[in-house]
Amino acid sequence: METLSLSEKPTVAVTENITGAEAVVKSLIAEGTDTIFGYPGGAIMPVYDALFHYQSELKHVLTRHEQGATHAAQGFARATGKVGVAIATSGPGATNLITGIADAQIDSTPMVCITGQVASPLLGSDAFQETDIVGISMPVTKWNYQITCAEEIPWVMAKAFYIAKSGRPGPVLIDITKDAQFQSFDFEYRKCEKVRSYNPVPKADPLKIKDAAQLINAAKRPFVLFGQGIILSEAEKEFQDFIEKGGLPAAWTIMGLSALDTSHPLNVGMLGMHGNYGPNLLTNECDVLIAIGMRFDDRVTGDLTKYAKQAKVVHIEIDPAEIDKNVKTEVALLGDAKSVLQQLTPLIQDNTHDNWLQQFKDCDAKEKEVVIDNEIAPTSGEMTMGEVIARINKQTNGDAIIVTDVGQHQMMACRYAHFKKSKSNITSGGLGTMGFCLPAALGAKIGAPEREVVAVIGDGGFQMTIQELATIAQTEAAVKILILNNEFLGMVRQWQQLFFDKRYSHTHMVNPDFVAVTKGFGIDAVMVDKRENLDEAVKNFIQSETSCLLEVRVGKENNVFPMVPSGASVAEVRLS
Amino acid sequence: MKKLYTLSIFTENRHGLLHRVTVIFTRRRINIESLTVSESETKGVHRYTIVIESDENHIQKIVKQLEKQVDVIKAFYHKDEETVFQEIALYKVPTHKIANGVKLETLVRNNHARILEVEPDFMIIEKTGHKEETQQLLDALAPFGVMEFVRSGRVSVTKPEKELAAYLQ
Ligand SMILES: Cc1ncc(C[n+]2csc(CCOP(=O)(O)OP(=O)(O)O)c2C)c(N)n1
C-alpha cells in the first residue's frame, strides 16, 4: 500500500531501462546532490561502477575510513544546509558508519547513508560481509529501509531525502542488496512531498502564541535560550528581530552558536557546563525563560530539580517529543522556529530591560577578570588555548567556519571564537564524538569552498581520524588544521584533577611528531612552542592558500572554567 | 506511582517496525508485560497493544517518542479503567485425570471457560478474561497436572477522541 505522496511532476521522466545501481546515482542527482563521501567494497560495487559514468555530475570523495565519510557528510550538511550523503559497502563498511549516524541523529543533521548489502537470497545466512545494518542502525536513524528489488529505488530514495531534511532533520539509512543493484527496470523519479504517518512541521496554536506574547510582555527579567533550531529553520533574521524588539538577552547552546553575531549587544554568551558565568547563574533568576530550537540537554541544565524553578517557560520547538521532556513548560509553541517567530514578534511590545541586561554585564566583568583575561591574553607562562583562538579571530575577523573536535579545545573554541555568519560553528554537540573534526572540516570546506574553514582539534582526537589527512591532500581542500597539543586527553584529565584527586589514569599521551606525520601526508605543517612566534605562525596559517597544519604546544594542565560540576545546579557555576 | 498502562499504537505495515518500537522501551529499561500486533479496522494499518508498568510522567514521554517514529501514525495510552481489554488463555490437561470427576465441569462452568477439544490423552480448555481470571483457573487446574499453558497478550479497545481515519489525512 502506498503511504506517501510523490510529486505530480516527475523530476526525471521515464528513461530507458537502467540498472538499480544507475538508478541510485540518478536519484541522487535528481535530489540535487553534487557531492557524496564514501568508500567502496564488494556489495556496493555496482553503484561504484555507475558512479564512474557520472563523474561530471556527481563528485565522489574517497575518505580513508567510513566514519570519516559520515562526518564529512555531516560537515557538508552543517555548512550548506543541504543533505549530506555517505556511501559504504556491507558488513564492516556499514558498521563503520554507525558513529557518524548516531552523531547526526542526536545533533539533527540531515544525512542519507547508502549501504550495499549481500544479494537477497543470501540474507540471513551469515554470508560474507553480511551484517544486519538495518537492525543495527534502527535506534540511531530517523528512518531506514532495506531495498531488495530495483523498482523500489526511486521512491525509497525520494522518501529518504524528504525524511532526512524535513521537520527535525536526521539521518536515514538505505541498505540495497547487490541483486537489486544489478536488476534493470524503467526508471522514473518523483520527489516525495508527504508521508501520511509523518507530520514533520506541526502548526503552532495562535492562542498559545498570544499567551506566550503576554508572558514575554509582562516579564521583568526575560531570558532567551537558543539552539540549532534557529539555524536549521534559517530563522536567524526573525530571531534577531524578535530579541531586538523585546530587548531580550539571549544565550546559546553550542549547537546554536553562530546563529546570532557574537558581538550583538543582546548576545550574552554560552550556556552549559563550560558556558559563561552570567547565562548560567541568571538562568535561576529570570522570570520568563524563552527556549527556541533547543532541547534542554543535561550539559546545559545541570541538575534539573534546581533548574529555573522560578521561571515560566515558553518553549518553541518543532519536535513534540522535546516538549516537557526535561523542563516543564508553561506555553509550548510547536512549529518551525521561523514561522513561529514571524507570528510571535508582531505581538511583542517594543521594550528594553536595561537593569536586567546590566546584571549579565556585571557577571561578564567578573568572569573577564577571573577567567577570560588570563585565558585569551596571558603575558607569561605556558601558552593557553584561548590565546590561540583569539589570534585566529584576529586573522579571520569572525568570518571563518570553525569546526571543532571534542574536549577542552572544543569548549575554548566555542567560548572564544567570534562569529558573524550563521552555519559557521560545526561541532559534535550531543554525542561528543572525538574524531569528528578533521573529516567534518573537510566536508565543510568542500560544501563551502569560498569560506575559510579552520579545524580546531586536540592531540587526542586528531589521532582518531588522522587518516583523513590523506583525503584532504587528495582533494586539495584548503582546510586549516589547528592542533592544540597538551599531551593529555585534556578534558578527562581536568575531571581527574577536580573529581578524582589528580589520579591521571591513562590520560597522558606520548604523541607522534605531528609535523612530520602531516608532511608525510603531503600537507605543510608547523609547530609553535613559544609565545613570541605565535602571531606570525597564525598569520601564515590563515593566509595560506592551501591546507596546512599548525600545532601549538599549550599548557599541559590547564583547565576550562567556568564550570558547572556535573550534577550541580547552574547556579553553582564555579569561576575557578 | 507505577501502574499498568495499555498503549495502542497505530502504524504502517512495515517490516522491522517492531524493532523500532521496542527500542524505545529498551532504552528506558522498561519491561514489556505483553504485546499483541494485528491489522486494525483500516486496511494496511497495524495496531500494537502493549502493556507496560510505568507512571504518567514517563508514559507521556514514551508516547511522544513512539509517535516521533516516521512509520507510527498515532499512539495512545490508557489506564485499565479507561479501556475494555481481554486476554485469552489455553490449558492442556490430561483427560483421564479429570474425565471421571464432576469437578471439571464445575470448574469450567464456574470459570466461564469452554472446552475446545477432547482427545483420549488430553483436552484443551479455553478461557478469555483478565489476567487474574485466567490465572485463577490455572491455579484451580494445577492439582490435575497442567501439561501446557499459554496466555496471549492483551487486546484492548479504547476510545480515541478522533477516528483513526482522521490521523491518516
Ligand atoms: C570517541 C570518544 N572517546 C572518548 C571520549 C571521551 N573524551 C571526552 S573529551 C576527551 C579528551 C579529549 O582529548 P584531546 O582530544 O586531546 O582534547 P583536549 O581535551 O585535550 O582539548 C575524551 C577522551 C569521547 N568524547 N569520544
SS3 A74: helix
pLDDT, mean of residues A289-302: 97
pLDDT, mean of residues B38-55: 94
Task: Residue A531: count other Cβ atoms within 10 Å of its Cβ.
Answer: 16
**Catalytic status, residue A66:** yes
**Catalytic status, residue A491:** yes
**Catalytic status, residue A128:** yes
Burial A382-408 (b: 16+ CB within 10 A, else e): ebbbbbbbbbbbebbebebbbbbbbbb
Query: What per-residue confidence (pLDDT) applies to A459?
Result: 98
Q: Is the pLDDT of residue A421 over 80?
A: yes
Q: Is the pLDDT of residue A107 over 50?
A: yes
SS3 A297: coil
Task: List, in sequence order, every beta strand (DSSP E) within A181-294.
Answer: 184-186, 192-195, 222-226, 250-252, 267-270, 288-292
**How many Cα atoms within 13 Å fall on the side-chain side of residue A50?**
18
- Higher per-residue confidence, B45 vs A14: B45
From CA B69, how far away is CA A476, in angstroms rounded? 40
Task: Spell out which residues of chain B touch residue A323, defining contact as CB-CB under 8 Å.
Answer: 64
Cell 613570541: give the residue: A532
Residue A304 in contact with partner chain B when CB distance is under 8 A: no
Centroid of ligand 1 to alpha carbon of A500 (angstroms)? 17
- β pairing state of B32-39 and B45-54: antiparallel
Instruction: Please answer yes or no on whether B67 and A135 come within 8 Å at the CB atom.
Output: no
Q: Which CATH number fits domain A206-360: 3.40.50.970, 3.40.50.1220, 2.40.50.140, 3.40.1380.10?
A: 3.40.50.1220
pLDDT, mean of residues B42-70: 95
Residue B82 in contact with partner chain A when CB distance is under 8 A: no
To the nearest whole Å, the CA of A143 is away from the closest chain B CA by 7
Query: What per-residue confidence (pLDDT) applies to A3?
Result: 62
Residue B106 in contact with partner chain A when CB distance is under 8 A: no
Secondary structure in 3-state letters for A151-203: HHHHHHHHHHHHHHHCCCCCEEEEEEEHHHHHCEEECCECCEEEECCCCCCCC
Return the minimum-mean-pLDDT range out of A142-151, A227-236, A500-509, B8-17: B8-17
Query: In 3D, which of A273, A568, A518 has the Cα closest to residue A406?
Result: A273
* Model pLDDT for residues A527-563, shown as the tens digit of each residue: 999 999 999 999 999 999 999 999 999 999 999 999 9
SS3 B98: helix
| Bridge partners (DSSP) listed for residue A446 | none
Ligand 1 atom having least distance to the Cα of A494: 19
Query: What per-residue confidence (pLDDT) applies to B108?
Result: 84
Q: Is the pLDDT of residue B142 over 80?
A: yes
Task: Residue B152: count other Cβ atoms within 10 Å of its Cβ.
Answer: 15
**DSSP secondary structure letters along A506-567:** T-B-----HHHHHHHTT-EEEEE-SGGGHHHHHHHHHH-SS-EEEEEE--TT----SB--TT
Q: What are phi and psi of A304, to 5 degrees?
A: -65, -25
Instruction: Please answer yes or no on whether B70 and A195 come within 8 Å at the CB atom.
Output: yes
Q: Which value does ipTM take for this structure?
A: 0.90
Q: Is the pLDDT of residue B103 over 80?
A: no
- Are A128 and A158 spatial neighbours (Cβ–Cβ below 8 Å)? no
C-beta of A433 in contact with ligand 1 (< 6 A):
yes
Instruction: Please answer yes or no on whether A3 and B61 come within 8 Å at the CB atom.
Output: no
Task: Spell out which residues of chain A touch residue B44, defining contact as CB-CB under 8 Å.
Answer: 1, 3
Instruction: Please answer yes or no on whether A143 and B61 come within 8 Å at the CB atom.
Output: no
Percentage of chain A exceeding pLDDT 70: 99
Task: Spell out which residues of chain A touch residue B27, defining contact as CB-CB under 8 Å.
Answer: 139
By CB atoms closer than 10 A (0-12, 13-18, 19+), residue A53 is exposed
- Higher per-residue confidence, A550 vs B2: A550
Q: Show me where the domains of chain A are located.
A: 4-195, 206-360, 383-553
CATH 3.40.50.300 holds for A4-195? no
Homologous superfamily, domain A383-553: Thiamin diphosphate (ThDP)-binding fold, Pyr/PP domains (3.40.50.970)
Cell numbers at A334, concatenated: 510547536
Q: Are domains B3-83+157-168 and B86-151 of this chain identical in fold?
A: yes
Residue type, A372: I
C-beta of A81 in contact with ligand 1 (< 6 A):
no
pLDDT, mean of residues B163-168: 71
* Model pLDDT for residues A313-362, shown as the tens digit of each residue: 999 999 999 999 999 999 999 999 999 999 999 999 999 999 999 999 99
Find the closest chain A residue to B26 by CA distance.
A139
C-beta of A486 in contact with ligand 1 (< 6 A):
yes
**Between A468-475 and A66-80, two packed helices, what is the crossing angle to 10 degrees?**
60
Second-level CATH architecture of B86-151: 2-Layer Sandwich (3.30)
C-beta of A491 in contact with ligand 1 (< 6 A):
yes
- β pairing state of A4-6 and A192-195: antiparallel
Which fold would CATH assign to domain B3-83+157-168? Alpha-Beta Plaits (3.30.70)
From CA A437, how far away is CA A404, in angstroms rounded? 5
To the nearest whole Å, the CA of B89 is away from the closest chain A CA by 32
From CA A430, how far away is CA A4, in angstroms rounded? 31
Cell 531506514: give the residue: A144
Cell numbers at B80, concatenated: 485499565
Query: What per-residue confidence (pLDDT) applies to A1?
Result: 44
pLDDT, mean of residues B24-51: 94
| pLDDT band at residue B166 under the 50/70/90 scheme | confident
Q: Show me where the domains of chain B are located.
A: 3-83+157-168, 86-151
pLDDT, mean of residues A127-132: 97
Q: Is the pLDDT of residue A269 over 80?
A: yes
Q: CA A461 → CA A332, A426, A456, A517, distances in Å?
A: 39, 15, 10, 15
Residue A305 in contact with partner chain B when CB distance is under 8 A: no
Q: Is the pLDDT of residue A2 over 80?
A: no
Q: Is the pLDDT of residue A299 over 80?
A: yes
From CA B88, how far away is CA A13, in angstroms rounded? 54
Query: What per-residue confidence (pLDDT) applies to B136?
Result: 93
SS3 A447: helix
Residue A325 in contact with partner chain B when CB distance is under 8 A: yes
Residue A328 in contact with partner chain B when CB distance is under 8 A: no
Residues 6+ apart with CB under 8 A from B7: B48, B49, B50, B51, B52, B59, B62, B63, B66, B75, B76, B77
Mean pLDDT of chain A: 97
Cell numbers at B20, concatenated: 523500532
Query: What per-residue confidence (pLDDT) applies to A157?
Result: 98
pLDDT, mean of residues B100-105: 64
Cell numbers at A324, concatenated: 516537557
Helices (H), B38-112: 56-67, 95-99, 103-110
Task: Spell out which residues of chain B touch residue A320, defining contact as CB-CB under 8 Å.
Answer: 64, 67-68
Cell numbers at B96, concatenated: 483421564
C-beta of A459 in contact with ligand 1 (< 6 A):
yes
Q: Which of A491, A498, A566 to mutate to test the pocket of ligand 1 (most atoms within 8 A of CB)?
A: A491
Percentage of chain A exceeding pLDDT 90: 97
pLDDT, mean of residues B41-62: 94
From CA A51, how far away is CA A34, in angstroms rounded? 12
* Model pLDDT for residues A511-524, shown as the tens digit of each residue: 999 999 999 999 99
To the nearest whole Å, the CA of A321 is away from the closest chain B CA by 5
Residue B64 in contact with partner chain A when CB distance is under 8 A: yes
Query: What per-residue confidence (pLDDT) applies to B169?
Result: 60
- Are A128 and A450 spatial neighbours (Cβ–Cβ below 8 Å)? no
To the nearest whole Å, the CA of B28 is away from the closest chain A CA by 12
SS3 A410: helix
Q: Is the pLDDT of residue B106 over 90?
A: no
C-beta of A518 in contact with ligand 1 (< 6 A):
no
Q: What are phi and psi of A113, to 5 degrees?
A: -110, 135
Task: Residue A422: count other Cβ atoms within 10 Å of its Cβ.
Answer: 20
The dihedral built from the CA positions of residue A331, A333, A337 and A340, taken in this order, carries a sign that is negative
From CA A385, how far away is CA A488, in angstroms rounded? 13
Cell numbers at A140, concatenated: 540511531
Centroid of ligand 1 to alpha carbon of A492 (angstroms)? 7
Residue B44 in contact with partner chain A when CB distance is under 8 A: yes
Query: What per-residue confidence (pLDDT) applies to B52?
Result: 96
| From A178, A312, A338, A480, active-site residue | A178
